[in-house]
A and B are shown apart, each in its own frame.
Chain A
């Protein structure tokens, strides 16, 4: 068993034709924790993953495992010598090997028999022992991804890096595969990185989230802390929908509960349909049901800038007056985004 060490990026940069794709990024992946790297396409997430993996050299900064330097401007331990597991969106299973042999690919220094036994155990752990002889093209997407996770973990990596691992899967398969896969990753107790552009996935699956934009890591914290206390508009936006409201458009009773500012950013759940007679009366402009919740567009004082949510069986009609309440913890007072 490898010693459990954190995998760290310290001020790493990577340039493509002079343009920084990763810009002085620092991130520590703690053992036993899943850290999500969240950002839009082109944010530099996958490049940072490739720097961790050793698939690309760094142009500045260091990648460390514990205190051992894996990448710096003068050192580059190649990917094949790092023992860092990789999980890809396209599964990357070897098409000429069956599931068992795919899992056994990275097992070294053991007899053929021992390798098959160990691979079989890993497949069993991921609920796939009955598919051991199947070739990748005979497996479903979910099965393929579980084989690729078994393959990466069987090689006893010091860390595991997952690049959008579940985005290639059918929605109905996703939650089951995710549950089994992430349980196996957590059980291994190694540092794990989950690259994702899906905020809901990152919040559900990760112990910590780092939000990345234009090559820079903007903020890193627990999902809860990031969601409720974003330090910048891009981070707040990355975690969930927001809408801007001028202080003047809010009811006076609400404004007094908020810190002094000209305008605010509100999460939709900041304004909710009241279950009783409490709250401020507002006119419903539109109400749309999106599965469990209703999304409301509300009018107050002649302005229809407010959004809110409602739970319940009855959908209010446009023009109807309803009572709504405010939860100030979902209202943010953030500096405007710089160009």
Chain B
């Protein structure tokens, strides 16, 4: 006998799917608008001009920056993760969590700091001249205002993504596999290249794809360092040349790159999880390095930390204290940032809960929720802001005053719902299906189950999700620049405005405040992940 139609569940399915569909539309509308305009909007003469003059440059520069950033990130993150997970050396316990700290500072803040450190009158070149007795014309010094300079800054800011995923992969390596390789006569180097790296590759790719998505989305650092990436091109087409259709075409290219990276991330993550669960593994015990080797590794880790966090942040603090500028003017942007980030987090949180709960109900909701959240997350803020502007112009709304803030909150939510949905989904998945069934057997309906069981159980994930959302929104620059009401600055906007005006001293305080806000959650995340790793190793 074949299954027959079941009317009641079908009705319930569509109700829950409808809610998810509305949430998905809210999340996905800006990126869809940007895509449609990019595809069908037509670019006219301006586009032909861009194609013949700058398109190749924008695309080539963006791809070049991504490639160089990949090299820098891999060089920084993979060896650090390898040594921290599998070897014991002086300071390992500190480096294990401290190497995540650079995540607290957005790329554009590191760009301001490093630009100041590396300029002709900056501390680095001054020391060089003092030591060597040369004058500025006598030597070559790397130029940060270049594509490699941007890659260096973005790698410093984003290598922890790869460090974290690689560390998890190395810690999960099966000792049996390494022992088997050893018993077959493989040298440590061969084991690393032929056994360890291939098995950690999916995790490394997943982290790398995330970092590169952020790099492609960056506007602040690229525009400050004067590197003509697609993001910068989009902003200029819209802002300086008032050519939104051209901006949309460029945005289309950027979306293609971002979605490509996201596809890589998804596929890599899928493979990674298969590898981890498919085998029985014993976590390798950390091997103690010799004193000399240990000190060298510790020095290497310290150098990374120095470069990516300590030096730039110290420089910002130094300049800020030395000049004492901007204390009064900071209050307003500070409050504005708090209000926007809080409102954006609240909306994104509600959308994330809707998407995650919907995904647990049926496959349709799971699919549309995942696509919408993924599309929002992959699309750079600048593209989403552009999408929102198109929707505004289609619907005839104006972008002035409080309405603009509502749109900004919406764009924040669209961009970051996925970042909130991730920890929420992880927390929900820790609750076995039997919990929901137990609640049903005790008479709890769908809504009661959400309020009395699902949400309380997912509380830890919900807290993490809220913090992540808040901090990400605090850092957001390009969409805020494009959509904020006139004279309504956030910390990020103020930092960018001062820095672009060559008033770096004034940019330091807002930059530091953003970094400080990011530091709390990053330390929390770092401690959580480190503890989780330790308890797994102990178990």
Contacts and interface: CB of A to CB of B under 8 A. Distances in A.
**A and B found bound together:** yes
A92 interface: yes
Contact of A88 (B4, B6, B438): B438
- Max count, chain B CB within 10 A of own CB: residue among A54, A83, A88: A88
Interface stretch (B65-73, B440-448, B527-535): B440-448
Given A13-B1, A53-B437, 6 more contacts: A15-B1, A80-B439, A80-B441, A96-B459, A105-B452, A108-B443
Counting contact residues on chain B (CB < 8 A from A), the size range is 20 to 34
B260 interface: no
Interface in A182-212: none
Contacts of B440: 54-55, 78-80
A92 B443 contact: no
B3 interface: yes
B451 to A, nearest CB: 12
For the complex of A and B, the 9 pairs showing the least CB-CB separation, nearest first, are A106-B442, A92-B434, A86-B441, A92-B438, A79-B440, A96-B456, A88-B434, A59-B3, A80-B440
Contact of A73 (B4, B438, B453): B4
Contact of A53 (B439, B441, B452): B441
Nearest to B449: A80
A82 B441 CA distance: 7
A9 interface: no
B440 to A, nearest CB: 4
Contacts of B133: none
- Max count, chain A CB within 10 A of own CB: residue among B9, B435, B445, B457: B435
Contacts of B4: 59-60, 73
Interface of A: 13, 15, 18, 20, 53-55, 57, 59-60, 73-74, 76, 78-86, 88, 90, 92-97, 105-106, 108, 148, 151-152, 155, 157
Contacts of A92: 432, 434-435, 437-438
A55 B434 CA distance: 11
Given A60-B1, A105-B452, A86 B438 contact: yes
Given A55-B437, A57-B6, A151 B1 contact: no
Contacts of B323: none
A123 to B, nearest CB: 16
Contacts of B437: 53, 55, 79, 86, 88, 92
B15 to A, nearest CB: 14
B538 interface: no
Contacts of A86: 437-438, 441
Contact of A80 (B431, B432, B445): B445
Nearest to A16: B3
Contacts of B456: 94, 96-97
Nearest to B435: A92
Nearest to A107: B442
B2 interface: yes
B8 A94 contact: no
19 contacts: A15-B1, A20-B1, A57-B9, A59-B4, A76-B6, A79-B437, A80-B439, A80-B442, A80-B444, A82-B441, A92-B434, A94-B435, A94-B453, A96-B457, A96-B459, A105-B442, A108-B443, A152-B442, A155-B441
A306 B7 CA distance: 58
A155 B444 CA distance: 12
A18 B4 CA distance: 11
A95 B461 CA distance: 14
A148 B438 contact: yes
Given A18-B2, A95-B457, A90 B432 contact: yes
A90 B9 CA distance: 27
- Max count, chain A CB within 10 A of own CB: residue among B6, B432, B434, B441: B441
Given A13-B1, A15-B2, A105-B452, A90 B434 contact: yes
Nearest to A83: B443
Nearest to A79: B440
Contacts of A148: 438
Contacts of B445: 80
Nearest to B1: A60
A160 to B, nearest CB: 9
Contacts of A151: 438, 442
A76 B432 contact: no
A15 B287 CA distance: 53
Contacts of B3: 15, 18, 59
Contacts of B1: 13, 15, 20, 59-60
- Max count, chain A CB within 10 A of own CB: residue among B6, B440, B457: B440
B441 A79 contact: yes
Interface string B1-36: 111101111000000000000000000000000000
A197 to B, nearest CB: 18
Interface string B295-320: 00000000000000000000000000
Contact of B8 (A76, A82, A84): A76
A275 B303 CA distance: 83
Nearest to B442: A106
Nearest to B9: A57
B452 to A, nearest CB: 7
A89 to B, nearest CB: 8
A81 B442 CA distance: 9
A338 B99 CA distance: 65
A161 to B, nearest CB: 8
A83 B444 CA distance: 10
A90 B7 CA distance: 32
Contacts of A59: 1-4
A108 B441 CA distance: 13
A295 to B, nearest CB: 32
A121 B529 CA distance: 42
- Max count, chain B CB within 10 A of own CB: residue among A60, A83, A85, A96: A96
B539 to A, nearest CB: 15
Nearest to A73: B4
A93 to B, nearest CB: 8
A90 B430 CA distance: 13
B255 to A, nearest CB: 37
B433 to A, nearest CB: 9
Nearest to A84: B441
Nearest to A61: B1
Contact of A85 (B432, B434, B441, B457): B441
Contacts of A53: 437, 441
Contacts of A80: 439-445
A79 B437 CA distance: 8
A317 B12 CA distance: 70
Contacts of B9: 57, 76
A108 B444 CA distance: 10
A307 B375 CA distance: 67
B339 to A, nearest CB: 31
A86 B437 CA distance: 8
A163 to B, nearest CB: 9
Nearest to A104: B442
B443 A106 contact: yes
A111 to B, nearest CB: 18
B32 to A, nearest CB: 34
A92 B438 CA distance: 7
Contacts of A15: 1-3
Contact of A81 (B432, B439, B443): B443
A92 B431 CA distance: 9
A90 B432 CA distance: 9
B114 to A, nearest CB: 46
Contacts of A105: 439, 442, 444, 452
